[in-house]
Structure 1
Amino acid sequence: MSKLPLIWEWDVGESFCVLTSLQNVEDEYELAKGVPRAKGFPANACFHMDPKFKKFVALADNISNLGRIIVVSKPLKELIESWKPREVEYLQVSIINHKKKVASDEYFIVNPLRVVDCIDKDKSDITWNKIDSEKISACEQLVLKPRAINSEFPLFRLRHFEHAVMVDRKLAQAILDEGFTGARFEEVDEFVR
């Protein structure tokens, strides 16, 4: 069994809502890069339920969204916090339902700030972005360098592929064992994007 961390993913199930992009936040793209945003984060930050999925209204503990930002319920945030991960921000957001009412104001963006240069570029099957040569735009096979990964960081991002958040296996298992909904974790060698 691999000891590598897992990739944080979403399980939308059969009734969980899907969210549009984050609203009322300038430079939202920074949340997929590990840029600190806690200072001055707007109190009116919110996500709307995606109108393309009007029948899907249930709130999962980990909610899928267009920006691939980790958005979690307060109980899931508290479990993550109990692991005392270093260099992680929790940014409160509201979820707005299809009727434009607040479905919940107790959700949080989990923003891992640590970016680790651990992709084995020679062994991975990756396509580099034609506009930004420092970014990976597609990945058919992801291979990591285990020695570059520090176990002191149970949540971190991959350099060149920052929107992918890595999670320690034990933390991922704790999330699943507690029955949190909407969370799925993928093995590195099965990851394709």
Structure 2
Amino acid sequence: MRYFQISTIGSLHDPEIALLNGTPEGMSLRAYCMSEGDPAHRFYPKEAKVSLRHDHPGIKLSSLLGNTSSYLIVHADVKEVIAAHAQDIEVEYLPFDLYDHRKRLYSRDYFIINPIGTVDCLDAAASGVKIGPEGSVIHVARFVLDPKKIAHLPALFRPKEEPAVYLVTEALAEALKAKGFTNILLEPVSISADA
């Protein structure tokens, strides 16, 4: 089986594609939850609002909305495909109202996908994981999966060393490709040769 990383920034080659600005209004200090895999529903606003970036004029909506907050933000159609494949894990599907550059309602069809927790799946040496003086991860050079740790990986998961990264199985990647979704960039992830 192969694995892929989903880019949360999407394509930067088309300036017409919308790019989101910041976090949902009202999340304040808890905004990190959705990029780190911590539960966010207790702090999530009932009428969450997210705006397009003022410094990025694009207004064309896509299946995945690129953002600089390391959130996995997708259209409801993509959410349904992910939900069908990720039934065996805890995932928050957080809806929000999307506003344009002039603060006008633009869409209500998007969700922040927040898979809860992380998975021990990387080959630390092959991934170039650097540990800081207090034992925390300070850098991951590349994502290389450990073949001894991939037997029971879920369809969507975050590596424990870098929670702001989203990895998917080949089955989910193929399901996303089959639908012809836009702005979903899937980068193959290596598996270490060490057994």
Interval of TM-score (by shorter of Structure 1 and Structure 2): 0.7 to 0.9
Q: Which amino acid aligns with 1:34?
A: G
Give the SS at the match of 1:48: strand
CA distance in 1, matches of 2:183, 2:49: 19
Give the SS at the match of 1:183: coil
More divergent stretch after superposition (17-26 vs 56-65): 17-26
Deviation at 1:183, TM superposition (A): 0.5
Deviation at 1:128, TM superposition (A): 4.1
Deviation at 1:123, TM superposition (A): 2.0
CA distance in 1, matches of 2:36, 2:151: 19
Deviation at 1:13, TM superposition (A): 4.9
Query: Does the CA contact (< 8 Å) of 2:92 and 2:114 recur in 1?
Result: yes
Equivalent pairs, count: 185
Change (3 A) 1:25 1:129: farther
Query: Does the CA contact (< 8 Å) of 1:47 and 1:96 recur in 2?
Result: yes
- Structure 1 segment 14-163 matched on structure 2, within 5 A: 14=14, 15-22=16-23, 23-26=25-28, 27-54=30-57, 56-85=58-87, 86-128=89-131, 133-137=135-139, 139-151=140-152, 153-163=154-164
Identity among equivalent positions (%) equals 26
Which of 3, 6, 12 in structure 2 is aligned with 1:5? 3
Deviation at 1:135, TM superposition (A): 2.8
Q: Provide TM-score, normalisation by structure 2.
A: 0.85
More divergent stretch after superposition (114-123 vs 64-73): 114-123
Q: Note the aligned Cα RMSD (angstroms).
A: 2.1
CA distance in 2, matches of 1:122, 1:42: 41
Q: Provide TM-score, normalisation by structure 1.
A: 0.86
CA distance in 2, matches of 1:12, 1:178: 22
CA distance in 2, matches of 1:150, 1:20: 37
CA distance in 2, matches of 1:135, 1:94: 35
- Structure 1 segment 167-186 matched on structure 2, within 5 A: 167-186=168-187
Structure 1, residues 110-161: CA drift from partner, whole Å, max 9, x if none? Answer: 001141112211222234467x742333x33332212213545101101020
Report the counterpart of residue 193 of structure 2 in structure 1. none
Structure 1: tracts of 5 or more residues without a match: none
Give the SS at the match of 1:106: strand
Change (3 A) 1:136 1:177: farther
Query: Does the CA contact (< 8 Å) of 1:12 and 1:63 recur in 2?
Result: no
Q: Which amino acid aligns with 2:38?
A: V
